[in-house]
Chain A
């Protein structure tokens, strides 16, 4: 899996490379428009992350170029312009997803995985980790081939954990993943714990290992390496 990161802020570029590198992707990066254009022309990527505001050009134009040169490449716009105009505009010209800055790396990771799934497996992909098996597009989950009956939010939660397995995901990123903008302005994230408790209970009832670990006040870790 090859991913191109087009981002002009060096520290953010570094973070993205590091985080996504740990996922086993091969990562290339570009810090400006012309560099990005060169790379797009020379190589093919499974996924590109495009920042809209670049020092020497507009990311929207880059999206158009990628779309014509490599139509099978997944495109996610990551933009500081937290504006709906950009969102509509970006998706209209063919970007697959839009993630406004500041975003959680775990969220970006989940989105990249979902995008690659959509592009490559045509919805037939299954995610299997030990006794847990998930059909993401059909929204079905099994434990030891027994159906695991989950609510919508619990399923989203499980999928999110699997995408970020063996990583610590912060409670804020979980809340935002489940509730979107509704997670803003909340004074407590205790309700997430209730969701997680239910998910764990249901999974363990079917004989699954207790994968979800609470990481001291920060978040959770779906740990498959125990």
Chain B
């Protein structure tokens, strides 16, 4: 949920109970006030009636108050002077409806006798008044909240604008792509600090990233010379006719390790070259051409391992990529498919006009696709496998704006190259 939506919702959530409470309080206060007014009016009437009854007879009094708002009844009982106010409903005969009235119930004692007196006053006006005030107030409050919400929205939008621009640039941030992170004009100090801190972090991150990349590149490059020296000495050593069988064994072991080291170093060099975008130049590449060349080169290797390579081309696929890179990619996947296979197994290659699929049988079950393309994460523990072949293939597809997907279906490990959508 967006920040603005969230604040607006919390405003509404607070405003509604507040409005209800305010409404109730207003109603209570106004109602009380008007009741008091009426009660005073009723009391004045009572005093007037008292005066009146002292000098006039009851009949005259009754006559004067024919409107049923004063009901006087003589009583023998000498009532108290107590004034009892209450709300009551009276049947209005003309309209045959019950209407709210305020009633004063009291006794009047005169020298002529005692009277039980009920003085009534319609509350209809008061209710109407109350309703008017109340609804006016509610409408006012409602508008106030709407206006507040709009103001809050506008203010928040302006206030949070730098935040959103920082956020926007952060989401688009690519460590190897984003150039310099420009500082925007921010007047809010918190956002300025945020922006500055993020800039610092990014600068640090990018310099670390560059250093790390350079380190791998430099290290593998520097290793080439000693490896070349070792390899040349090894070749001179094996020329010696004086080597006994035991020494030959040592030389062989050394040679194997040296070969592994050379390959590992070559892979690291290649990876850093891909990362540094040193493969420039694209050309129109016919995928099946590269694939059939790779098959030809690896045919004997596969044959020796008793693995059958089959290919089916449903239509040709032309790609605009760096040929050397893409060749390495195909080679690595194909080598992988042969290497991690079993005797009597097979490798199937399928080419359509926008996909290349290489699938193979293997003793291994489904591999973790999250680890598969990671460097040095060989999942099969096979000797002579340093877990860079697929990582390289993956980096190449990314550099060629393609995607490489792994799938395990029906005991087949499937690697599929297709266009990035």
Contact = CB atoms under 8 A, between A and B. Distances in A.
Interface stretch (A25-33, A89-97, A211-219): A211-219
B249 interface: yes
Q: Secondary structure at chain B's binding surface: helix, strand, loop or mixed?
A: helix
Given A80-B221, A191-B303, A219 B238 contact: yes
Interface centre among A22, A182, A185, A187 (most CB of B within 10 A): A185
Given A188-B305, A191-B304, A216-B252, A102 B228 contact: yes
Interface string A184-222: 111110110011000000000000000000011111000
Interface of B: 221, 224-225, 227-236, 238-239, 245, 248-249, 251-252, 255, 259, 262-263, 266-267, 269, 273, 278-279, 294, 297-298, 300-301, 303-305, 324, 328, 331-332, 335, 339, 382-385, 389
Contact of A105 (B236, B255, B300, B339): B236
A82 B269 contact: yes
Contacts of A180: 297
Contacts of A216: 245, 248-249, 252
Contacts of A16: 232
Interface of A: 9, 11-12, 15-16, 18-19, 22, 80-85, 101-106, 153, 167-168, 170, 172-173, 179-182, 184-188, 190-191, 194-195, 215-219
Given A182-B331, A215-B238, A102 B389 contact: no
A215 B252 CA distance: 10
Contacts of A15: 229, 232-233, 235-236
A15 B230 CA distance: 10
B227 A187 contact: no
A218 B238 contact: yes
A172 B224 CA distance: 17
Given A102-B262, A191-B301, A218-B248, A186 B335 contact: yes
Interface centre among B225, B233, B301, B385 (most CB of A within 10 A): B301
Contact of A187 (B225, B231, B328, B383): B383
B382 A187 contact: yes
Contacts of A85: 278
A182 B232 contact: no
Contacts of B328: 181
Contacts of B248: 215-218
A182 B389 CA distance: 12
Contacts of A83: 273, 278
B332 A179 contact: no
Given A106-B235, A187-B385, A218-B251, A80 B228 contact: yes
Nearest to B221: A80
21 contacts: A80-B224, A82-B266, A84-B324, A102-B224, A102-B232, A103-B231, A104-B231, A104-B235, A105-B235, A153-B300, A168-B239, A170-B234, A172-B255, A172-B259, A179-B297, A184-B263, A185-B332, A191-B301, A215-B238, A216-B248, A218-B252
Given A172-B255, A187-B382, A216-B252, A80 B339 contact: no
A182 to B, nearest CB: 4
Nearest to B293: A182
A192 B251 CA distance: 20
Nearest to A166: B239
A105 B228 contact: no
Contacts of A195: 300
A137 to B, nearest CB: 23
Interface centre among A16, A82, A179, A195 (most CB of B within 10 A): A82
A81 B220 CA distance: 11
A173 B227 CA distance: 15
B291 to A, nearest CB: 13
Contact of A170 (B238, B335, B383): B238
B253 to A, nearest CB: 9
A82 B273 CA distance: 10
B392 to A, nearest CB: 9
The 3 closest A-B pairs by CB, nearest first: A15-B232, A102-B228, A191-B304
A23 to B, nearest CB: 12
A194 B300 contact: yes
A12 B232 contact: yes
A187 B256 CA distance: 11
B238 A19 contact: no
Nearest to B253: A217
Contact of B236 (A19, A218, A219): A19
Contact of A101 (B224, B305, B383): B224
Nearest to B231: A102
Contacts of A80: 221, 224-225, 228
Contact of B228 (A12, A22, A182, A191): A12
A9 B146 CA distance: 81
Contacts of B259: 172
A79 B279 CA distance: 18
Nearest to B302: A191
A187 B298 CA distance: 12
B229 A11 contact: yes
Given A15-B232, A82-B224, 10 more contacts: A12-B225, A19-B232, A83-B278, A101-B228, A168-B238, A180-B297, A182-B294, A184-B263, A191-B301, A215-B238
Contacts of A103: 228, 231
A218 B297 contact: no
Contacts of B236: 15, 18-19, 105
Contacts of A185: 263, 267, 332, 335, 339, 389
A127 to B, nearest CB: 21
Contacts of A153: 300
